[in-house]
Amino acid sequence: MNLNYKLKLPAISVTRVPGNTRPVRQSRPLGDSPTTYPLISDSGRLCSSNQSIPRLNPLLPPLAQRRTVSLETSAVHYHNQQRALSMQRAEHCRRHQVWRKPFYGTSTEKEEYRKHLIEQLQKQMDEKSAAKTLQLAKRAKEGERLLEMDRLALSRDADLKVQRKTSLLVYRDENKRLMELQWRQQALLRRQEALKERELLGLNHINWRGTLS
């Protein structure tokens, strides 16, 4: 459907009045300028096509030279309203086309719907199986990582035990050596003191016979 509208736009001219410096505006009607708006197709055809209807600016209709408030007409608003209604009908038709085929369609459409449904179910099953396989693989990888961490921790603990045992053995041997050295020094000191006491007893006048040695 072709919508043709005629717009009568006032033309503004500026003239000067003698004795007055301010301009005076005078308007005169322009000739009829036909304006062609985009076609709004039937909603039935819009259901099976992706045709888009452009929206018009009420303040700037097509073929307008200058944007003014006087250009706003009911024709553009009517076009936009019809455009909105047509888009609503197309959306309603598109939604109802989804459930119409499996109940009221032909045998071929019903078969295609069942085939599409089976394909979607198979796709969902494949996706679920792939997700489960991926999850199991992640769990197995995580288990291997935890086992490796546990093995490293046990190995580190064993190394620490060996190092501690070695350090304790070194500490024990060093203590034993120091104690033996101290014992030898004490024994040597006691022998020296005993010899010194014998010498003193030999020189003492109380033991002049030497019987107390």
Every domain of the chain and the residues it spans: 4-104
Q: Are 37 and 62 in contact (CB under 8 A)?
A: yes
Which whole number is the average pLDDT over 190-203?
A: 84
Mean pLDDT, rounded, for 13-42? 44
Q: Is 81 exposed, middle or buried (0-12, 13-18, 19+ CB in 10 A)?
A: exposed
- d(C-alpha 21, C-alpha 81), whole Å: 47
Position 147 pLDDT exceeds 90: yes
What is the mean predicted confidence (pLDDT) over 102-113? 86
What confidence tier does 5 reach under pLDDT thresholds 50, 70, 90? Answer: very low
User: Is the pLDDT reported for residue 120 higher than 60?
Assistant: yes
